[in-house]
Structure 1
Amino acid sequence: MSFDIYAAFQRILNNEQISPPLAAILALTELIQHSDAGTMFELVKALNDGAEDLKKQASNPISLNAGCELFTAFVTLFPHDSANFTDLKKELIHQGQSYAAEALTYRNKIAELAFGFIKDGSILTHSYSRVVMQTLLLAHKRKRISVFVTEARPRGLGIKTAQALTAAGVPSTVILDSAVAYAMDKVDFVLVGSEAVVESGGLVNAVGSNQIAIIARAANKPFYALAESYKFHRLFPLSQYDLPSHNSKILSFPPPLLADRSLQLNTPFHASTPTDSSAPINNQPDLARPPIITQEQISQNNPNVDYTRPDLISLVFSDVGSLTPEGVSQYLVGMFAG
C-alpha cells in the first residue's frame, strides 16, 4: 500500500480548527479507505503500523498518540453486524468522520462549562490554545476580565494569543516567562490548554506549564486545565523524562570548541602578516570571546512540552464534565474498557 499517512496528517492539520489528535483520527480513517486489509486482524495491524509512522515523523508525538490510541481502541471494540468486511470498513470510515465532526463542537461545550467558574478579574494563560481562546472570548462577552499571557518560549505562541485577544477587545498583556511569579499576585486564577491529559490525572502542555502550576500553588491560586476528551491519553509519566517527546538532545551540553582553538593556536605567526588595531596581539586568537549562541540552538536544546503533576491541578474542564485529576483517571479506565 502506497498511502502516505504522514502527508495526509499534515494536509488535515492545515485546517486551523483541527488539532493533532483529530488529524490523527482522520488520517487513520483515510488509511482504512486505502487499505486492502481483508480481515480485522490485518486492519488493526495496518492501523498500528500507520500510528507508528506518524509517531516516528512527528517532533512531538504526545497529542497525536492520544488520537491514534483512541481510534484504534474504537475499531477494536466496535460492535457490528455488517454482512461482510467491506461494509464494516465503510461503517468504520463513516464513524471516524462523524466523530471528528462532532468533536469540533467540544470546545464550545468546554467554554460553557468553564464559564461558570470565571468571575470578573484577571486571568493568567500560557502559550496558545484554541479551547482557551474560545473560553476567554465567551467570558469577555459576559464578564469584565483582563488576561496576562506568557511569551511561552521557545515557540513564542503566547504572542499569538495576546494578538488575538487584543483584536477581540480583551484587555491583555504579554509577560515574560520568567515574570510569572512577579505577576501571580495580580491574577485570580490560571487557565491553560493541554497537549494531553494523562492517566495519572496530570497534564502535558507547552513547556512552562509545570512551573506556572507550582507558582500558582505557592500563591494559593486555582490552576485550571481545559482539555477535549480526545486528548485523554493512557500514559503514566513519573517525571519529565518519561514523556515520549524527551530525547538525549534535550538539555544536552555542546562539545567544547577545543579543536578549532587548537588549530588557531598552532597557526604560525609571520612577521609580514598585516595587522590592525582590532586584531589580537601577536596574531593570537581572542580566547575570551564567547561563542555565538542562536535562538534556534536554544530552541533545539529545550523541550516543547512538560508534565504537570495532578496534585497541582485544581480541575480539568472537558466535554465530559468538570473532573478532578482522580476523576480523569477513572474516566480513562472506563473509556478504554469499552
Structure 2
Amino acid sequence: MSQGEPNSSPAQFDVFVTYQSILQNEEISTPLAAILTLTQLIEKSSAGTMFELVQALNDGAEILKQRTPNPISLNAGCELFIAFVTLFPHDSDSFSDLKTELVKQGRNYATEALTYRDKIAALALGFIEDDSVILTHSYSRVVMKTLLRAHERKRISVYVTEARPRGLGLRTYDELTAVGIPCTVVLDSAVSYVMDKVDLVLVGSEAVVESGGLINAVGSNQIAIIAKAANKPFYALAESYKFHRLFPLSQYDLPTHNPNVLSFPPASVSTSLPTKGAVIGSGLQKITPAEGSRSMTQEQVARNPNVDYTRPDLISLVFSDVGSLTPEGVSQYLVGMFAG
C-alpha cells in the first residue's frame, strides 16, 4: 500500500471524489462533508481490526487535507469523527457489526447536525433587539439562517462587507434584499466608518479553536478589533462540529499560512506604474476609466491570506448548538468532548 492511501479498495472508493460529491449539497458544510466521507470510507474499508480502521481514517483525512487549499474546517470534522470512532464502545459481536454501527452513527449525526443552524438562530435571536442594525462579514449559512429568522419576528437592517477578494458579501446582499431586509454593502476599508451606526456584529466561522478564538474569512479580525474599540458586541456563530483542537498564538500559526503569504515578489519583477489621468481641479481627483476598472492580479491575490485569527478577548459570545458560550466555555467544552 502506498503512503497516504487509505486501507480500502482505491479502485472502488476515491475519498476525495466522494468528498467533492457530498459538497455539491449546499446545505452540507465542509466538516460535515468530511464526516460523511469518512463514514463511507468505513463502509468500504476492508479493515479487520480497530487499528487498521483508524489508520485508514487517518490516511483518508490526510488525503483530504493535502488536496484542500484551506483544510481548517475540514480538519475539525475529521478530528471529531476519528475521535468518536476511537472512543466508541467496542461491544459488538463482530468487527463487521461494529463497522456497521459506526456507519449508522455517522449518518445519524450528520442528519442531526443539519438542524444545528436552526438551534443557533433561535439562540441568537434573543440577543437581537427590534430595529437592530447588524454588521456581518462575507457569507455564512448560519448567519443567513439567523438573519432570516430575525426578519420574521423583528425589524432589522444589515450592513455586509464586500469581503474581497471573493466578494461573497455580495451574495449575502442579494439574498437579504430578495426577502426584503434593508441591506447595504460596505467596503472592507470602511468598517471603522460604519461601526458607530451598528448595534452588533454577527459573523460565521471556519473554526472555533481551543483558545476560544475564531478562524474565519480574512477581515474578521479587524472587524472584531474595531467593534471592541467601539464597545459593540462581536458574536461568532458556529456549529459544534467546527470546534477545533488548534491553539494558534498569532496569524502565522494558522495551517493556511505559508511562505508565499504576504511575501514580496522578487526584485527582478517590475511593477507597473499608475496610469496617468489624475488632474488638478476643484480639489478633486479625476480618474480615467482605465484607472477605475483596476483590480488585483491573481498573483497579488495569491499573496494574501483567505482566513484570519480573532483572539478570544475580542469575542463577546459564541452561539452554538450546545449553547451560548464564552470563549473560555468553548475551551472547556472541547476538553470534555475529546476526553470522552
TM-score by length of 1: 0.89
Determine if the alignment matches structure 1 residue 122 to structure 2 residue 133: yes
Please report how far the alpha carbon of residue 293 of structure 1 lies from its aligned counterpart in structure 2 after TM superposition: 7.4
SS of residue paired to 2:157: strand
SS of residue paired to 2:158: strand
Counterpart in the other structure of 1:133? 144
Determine if the alignment matches structure 1 residue 301 to structure 2 residue 303: yes
Determine if the alignment matches structure 1 residue 189 to structure 2 residue 200: yes
Q: Which residue among 105, 108, 114 is the counterpart of 1:104?
A: 114
**Distance (Å, rounded) in 2 between the aligned partners of 1:131 and 1:79:** 33
Determine if the alignment matches structure 1 residue 13 to structure 2 residue 23: yes
Please report how far the alpha carbon of residue 80 of structure 1 lies from its aligned counterpart in structure 2 after TM superposition: 3.5
Please report how far the alpha carbon of residue 137 of structure 1 lies from its aligned counterpart in structure 2 after TM superposition: 0.3
Q: Which runs of 4+ in 1 moved over 6 A?
A: none
Please report how far the alpha carbon of residue 257 of structure 1 lies from its aligned counterpart in structure 2 after TM superposition: 3.4
Counterpart in the other structure of 1:36? 46
**Distance (Å, rounded) in 1 between the aligned partners of 2:298 and 2:14:** 29
Please report how far the alpha carbon of residue 34 of structure 1 lies from its aligned counterpart in structure 2 after TM superposition: 1.3
RMSD over aligned CA atoms reads 1.5
Q: Which residue among 168, 187, 204 is the counterpart of 1:176?
A: 187
Identical pairs, percent: 76
Please report how far the alpha carbon of residue 128 of structure 1 lies from its aligned counterpart in structure 2 after TM superposition: 0.5
The AA in structure 1 aligned to 2:187 is: L
Structure-to-structure mapping, 1:131-280, within 5 angstroms: 131-257=142-268
Please report how far the alpha carbon of residue 297 of structure 1 lies from its aligned counterpart in structure 2 after TM superposition: 2.1
Counterpart in the other structure of 2:314? 312
Counterpart in the other structure of 2:73? 63
Which is further off, 249-258 or 310-319?
249-258
Over 3 Å counting, the alpha-carbon distance change for 1:43 and 1:256 in structure 2 is same
SS of residue paired to 1:52: helix
**Distance (Å, rounded) in 1 between the aligned partners of 2:123 and 2:269:** 59
Q: Which residue among 89, 97, 102 is the counterpart of 1:87?
A: 97
Over 3 Å counting, the alpha-carbon distance change for 1:301 and 1:83 in structure 2 is same
The AA in structure 2 aligned to 1:198 is: V
Determine if the alignment matches structure 1 residue 48 to structure 2 residue 50: no
Please report how far the alpha carbon of residue 147 of structure 1 lies from its aligned counterpart in structure 2 after TM superposition: 0.1
Q: Which residue among 326, 330, 338 is the counterpart of 2:332?
A: 330
**Distance (Å, rounded) in 2 between the aligned partners of 1:180 and 1:258:** 33
**Distance (Å, rounded) in 1 between the aligned partners of 2:168 and 2:270:** 38
SS of residue paired to 1:32: helix
User: What 5-or-longer segments of structure 2 have no aligned partner?
Assistant: 1-8, 272-293
**Distance (Å, rounded) in 2 between the aligned partners of 1:250 and 1:14:** 29
**Distance (Å, rounded) in 1 between the aligned partners of 2:325 and 2:270:** 56
Over 3 Å counting, the alpha-carbon distance change for 1:295 and 1:169 in structure 2 is farther
Please report how far the alpha carbon of residue 259 of structure 1 lies from its aligned counterpart in structure 2 after TM superposition: 9.2
The AA in structure 2 aligned to 1:75 is: V
The AA in structure 1 aligned to 2:333 is: Y
Q: Which residue among 19, 23, 27 is the counterpart of 2:37?
A: 27
Counterpart in the other structure of 1:267? none
The AA in structure 1 aligned to 2:139 is: Y
**Distance (Å, rounded) in 1 between the aligned partners of 2:99 and 2:28:** 23
TM-score by length of 2: 0.88
**Distance (Å, rounded) in 2 between the aligned partners of 1:88 and 1:305:** 38
**Distance (Å, rounded) in 2 between the aligned partners of 1:186 and 1:87:** 58
Counterpart in the other structure of 1:281? none
Please report how far the alpha carbon of residue 294 of structure 1 lies from its aligned counterpart in structure 2 after TM superposition: 3.8
**Distance (Å, rounded) in 1 between the aligned partners of 2:36 and 2:298:** 32
**Distance (Å, rounded) in 1 between the aligned partners of 2:90 and 2:134:** 47
SS of residue paired to 1:184: helix
Counterpart in the other structure of 2:289? none
**Distance (Å, rounded) in 2 between the aligned partners of 1:219 and 1:97:** 44
The AA in structure 2 aligned to 1:10 is: Q
**Distance (Å, rounded) in 2 between the aligned partners of 1:305 and 1:163:** 23
SS of residue paired to 1:119: coil
1:47-89: CA deviation from partner (whole Å, max 9, x where unpaired): 0011111110100000000000000000000014211011110
SS of residue paired to 2:92: coil
User: What 5-or-longer segments of structure 1 have no aligned partner?
Assistant: 261-291
Over 3 Å counting, the alpha-carbon distance change for 1:209 and 1:258 in structure 2 is closer
The AA in structure 2 aligned to 1:76 is: T
SS of residue paired to 2:319: strand
The AA in structure 2 aligned to 1:319 is: D
